[in-house]
Structure 1
Amino acid sequence: MERLRIQITIDPALYTRDPETTDLGRKIVSKSIEMIDELGFEKFTFKKLGLAINSNESSIYRYFESKHALLVYLVSWYWSWIEYKIVFATTNVSDPSIKLLSCIDLLTKDVIEDTSISYVNEVILHRIIVAESSKAYHTKDIDKENSKGYYKTYKRVVQRVSDFVTDIHPTYEYPHMLISTVIEGAHHQRYFSKHLPSLTNVCEGKNNITEFYKELVLNAIK
């Protein structure tokens, strides 16, 4: 039986040409994920990417106007994928507490590759999100880019999960702050656990980060 394939839809404002529509575009996305993970965003360039995929640097610019635009695209792709998983996990679930805990699990746990999308390795992309995603919005152009909708998938995920918080506690004053803190904090803890372990209480073989944020959220809204 053929495995069902899902398609992640990205706002056209985030690219010059939709990379999902051509083999080259998909190759650009796939290889850029590998290279940013390997080199880091600062050392990654379109020239290096072009050499790696045997294509002209100029052909990459037909899809993305800059490597920053490519990073924003990858971040948006990741949050669109997470949103899909949230919707799938919470549809037909009536208990908002179960919905919320499922969301925290998805937002904080290590990522397993999703074979329903063949050209994107979500495990590697998650490492980029942990290590590099803040560079997508820690920029002098943040306000202009925000007005164009560059970060709306991330904000939509925060809104979805915040709604589950207010379903449980309608008068809770800080649902967006709480959920964005969970997301960004979990990314920091993942990064620290790999590189600065004395800043965490992560133990190998235990799901400490997810359990910590579940406890944090439930205690905050009880």
Structure 2
Amino acid sequence: MEVLLKFKLNEHLYLRDPEQTAIGKAIVSNAIELIFEIGFEQFTFKKLASRINSTEPTIYRYFTSKYKLLTYILNWYWTYLEYVCKMHLVEVNDPTKKMILILEIITHHINHHTQLHDYNLDHLHLIVISESSKSYLVKEVDEINNDMMFAPLKSLCLFISEVILKLEPHFPYPRSLASTLLETAHNQHFFSEHLPKLTDNASRENHKDYVLKYLTRLTFYTVKPA
């Protein structure tokens, strides 16, 4: 069964909502594939236009810069991930089981639909691992934050932090731990695959399994269930 998801994202990210037109959807889906293939540094609107048999001005009618397009893609991912968390946790009452499910979701151990609205989630996940920090490790981060462009990431962190507080109501750092888990899930996967001596993954394989085991130990040694 085909599943189509549409999320309304921050209007500051685009000039025209790409979800409303076929060419807009093609811009986003092909941007994901191109960034996955060549990396964000080498990605340009000229290359994207060639890929979709269109023109650079057409892309600029939707996004003013490749940075805005990357942030749009990342925001879609964060929104999607929170949606998946809520769907899987809705009938789970045990906070320990909730936390385990969250860790499985953020490390992509939960079975996802590979294609949702023509977006390849496997490729999108790898983009998040390698490129997501580029959306906020910039000099203009405060100005960007004022436009609420990081709202989906904050919302996901808040959701995770609430589950952490269910585990231990008096834990003093729920949001810090939530954001640490998300960032560590990406960094340790990247290190395990490319810089293995920065990890303890002796096999240098099964990167997702290694990261899940590490995050599980980190979480439950840091937060003792009430």
Q: Which residue number in structure 2 is paired with residue 153 of structure 1?
A: 152
Matched, 1:6 2:5: yes
State the AA in 1 paired with 2:119: V
Residue 5 of structure 1: how far off its partner (Å)? 2.7
For residue 212 of structure 2, the aligned residue among 203, 210, 213 is 210
**Structure 1 ranges of 4+ moved more than 4 A:** 110-113
Contact 2:114–2:121 (CA under 8 A) maintained in structure 1: no
Unaligned runs of 5+ in 1: none
Deviations 1:87-142 (A, max 9, x none): 10110211111111111111123686524613100111111100011000111111
Unaligned runs of 5+ in 2: none
Q: Which residue number in structure 1 is paired with residue 96 of structure 2?
A: 97
Contact 1:90–1:99 (CA under 8 A) maintained in structure 2: yes
Change (3 A) 1:115 1:75: same
For the residues of structure 1 that align with 2:113 and 2:143, how far apart are their CA atoms?
33
Change (3 A) 1:111 1:88: closer
TM normalised by structure 1 equals 0.94
Q: Which residue number in structure 2 is paired with residue 45 of structure 1?
A: 44
Contact 1:75–1:129 (CA under 8 A) maintained in structure 2: yes
For the residues of structure 1 that align with 2:123 and 2:168, how far apart are their CA atoms?
36
**How many residue pairs end up in the alignment?**
221
Contact 1:111–1:126 (CA under 8 A) maintained in structure 2: no
State the AA in 1 paired with 2:199: T
Which of 130-139 and 30-39 deviates more?
Answer: 30-39
Alignment of 1:71-82 (within 5 A): 71-82=70-81
Q: Which residue number in structure 2 is paired with residue 55 of structure 1?
A: 54
Alignment of 1:128-207 (within 5 A): 128-202=127-201, 203=203, 204-205=205-206, 207=209
For the residues of structure 2 that align with 1:97 and 1:149, how far apart are their CA atoms?
31
Cα RMSD for the two superposed structures: 1.6
Contact 2:3–2:116 (CA under 8 A) maintained in structure 1: no
State the AA in 2 paired with 1:5: L
